[in-house]
Structure 1
C-alpha cells in the first residue's frame, strides 16, 4: 500500500496536468477570453461528492456560532447582527461584523503571523500573491496515525514541481471543525515535518483541515519554519468528503492591510 500511494499520486498528477493544459490551450484560442475561466457547471456547497469535470466544490466552513475557536470551549460565537433594521423603522437592513481575531474559521496566514521581520516588512494579507492563491493543487490523504512528520512527508512522495498541497487528515475523520470545543490533539506539522517540506519540495501553498497548520506541541517552531520561507498557509478547510486528486484551488481573502491573517473563501474546481 505504501508503494501504491506514490504511484497513484504520480498517475493522477500526470493525467490531470494534461487535462488542465488542454483546457487552457482551448480557452486561450478564443479572442477576448481570459486564461482563467470559471468551469461550466454548478457550485457544490455542502455536497462534496466525487469530483467530475466542470464542478466547483466549496471547501470553506460557514461561520457558524459553534465553529471552534482557539483554546475556547464556547466556539466562535455570534459574528453578525443588525445595526439598522427595517423591522425597527430603518430604511434598510445593515449588519455589523465583529471578529475577536482574524485567525478564525477557514482562514489564511500571511508571513507576518509568526515572523516579526516579515510583519515589519509589510508582508500582510494584502501582499499575498494571487498567483499562489489560485492554481493547481494536490489534495493528499495523510496517514491517520501520525502528525505530519518528516518521515510521513517523505513517504508520501510529493511529486516534483507541485507548488500547492492540501492535507486531509484525521481532523476530518474526527469532525473537529464541526466540534464547538477546541481540541489540542489535532493533527498538524511537526517542526521536522515543516523543515522537510521547505527543503525538499517546491510547495508555496499548504492547506489543512483544522485551525492550525502546526501540531500543538510544535506550534511556534513549525509555524516559523513555514512562514519564514513565506509559504501561504490556509487552515480550517472543509475536506470531509473531497476525493484525493489534482484540482484547481481558488482562495481569496479580503485585501486587508497590516493584517497577518484573514478569513478566506476557498473552492476547488475540476
Structure 2
C-alpha cells in the first residue's frame, strides 16, 4: 500500500481566488521570545487550498459541511489524466472513460493546472469542467468530482452552471488537489474536510491510497 498526499500546503504564498481571504499565520506566543510554548493563529477562507464545496455554496437552502458524514468526500476514485486539454473539459473528453466513470464513486481530473498550483498568483486561464461535462457526470451517478485547481468552474463562467449542475444533483465538489506527482489510475481517496458549523465549504486533507 502506498499513500500519496495530494493536499496543497497552506501558506501566504499560495494562490487564492481573487477577492478571497489570503492565508495568514500569526504567532501570538514564541519560545524564542521567552514564552513557554509556540502558539499561532491561522486566518484563512473556507475555500483555501485543497478544499470542498457543499450545496450551500451555490444553493440558498443547501446543506453545509457539518451536515455531511465523515466519508462523504471519500471512496473509490479514478484519476483521469487530461493534461492535453487546453481550455475546458467537455463531454467529448469524458466519453472515452465511460466505463471507468461508471465504476467509480469519485473522479479526479489531472490537467495542466497541476503546474499552475505552484504559482502564487491566481491563473484565470486554468482548465475547468464545462456544464455539459458536468451533466454527463451527473448521469453516471458519481458522488463527487475533483480538479487540480481552486475552482472547477471557469473564471469567466459567471453564471455558475457547472457548480449548480453538480450540486443540485448531489454531486459534491473537491477543488485544489495537487495531482502533479500522480499517475492516471484507480485509487482510494480519503478526503476529510474541517467540520465547521454552517460553512458552505471547508479546507481538507486529501490523500490517495494505492493498494497492491
Q: Same fold (TM over 0.5)?
A: yes
From 112, 124, 128, the equivalent of 1:188 is: 128
Query: Any unmatched runs of 5+ in structure 2?
Result: none
TM-score scaled by length of structure 2: 0.90
* CA distances 1:209-268 after superposition (whole Å, capped 9, x unpaired): 000011223351111111111222111111002111111110111111100111100001
User: Which secondary structure state, in structure 2, belongs to the residue aligned with residue 157 of structure 1?
Assistant: helix
Asked whether the 8 Å contact 1:71–1:183 carries over to 2, the reply is no
List structure 1 runs of 4+ shifted beyond 4 angstroms. Answer: 75-78
TM-score scaled by length of structure 1: 0.72
Give the number of the structure whose residues are more often strand, by fraction.
2
State the Cα distance separating 1:77 from its structure 2 match. 4.8
| Larger relative contact order (CA 8 Å, sep ≥ 6) | 2
> Could you tell me which residue of structure 2 aligns to residue 56 of structure 1?
3
User: Which secondary structure state, in structure 2, belongs to the residue aligned with residue 214 of structure 1?
Assistant: coil
Larger radius of gyration: 1
- Give runs of aligned pairs for residues 226-241 of structure 1, distance below 5 A: 226-241=166-181
Whole-angstrom distance in 2 between the partners of 1:78 and 1:232: 24
Whole-angstrom distance in 2 between the partners of 1:238 and 1:139: 12
> Could you tell me which residue of structure 2 aligns to residue 256 of structure 1?
196
Give the number of the structure whose residues are more often helix, by fraction.
1
Whole-angstrom distance in 2 between the partners of 1:86 and 1:145: 49
> Could you tell me which residue of structure 1 aligns to residue 104 of structure 2?
162
State the Cα distance separating 1:158 from its structure 2 match. 4.3
RMSD: 1.9
- For these two proteins, the number of residue pairs brought into alignment is 207
* CA distances 1:90-122 after superposition (whole Å, capped 9, x unpaired): 3322111111x211111111111011121xxxx
> Could you tell me which residue of structure 2 aligns to residue 212 of structure 1?
151
* CA distances 1:2-47 after superposition (whole Å, capped 9, x unpaired): xxxxxxxxxxxxxxxxxxxxxxxxxxxxxxxxxxxxxxxxxxxxxx
> Could you tell me which residue of structure 1 aligns to residue 184 of structure 2?
244
Whole-angstrom distance in 1 between the partners of 2:74 and 2:17: 27
Whole-angstrom distance in 1 between the partners of 2:94 and 2:185: 17
Q: Quickly say closer, same or farther: Cα 1:195–1:218, change in 2 above 3 A.
A: farther
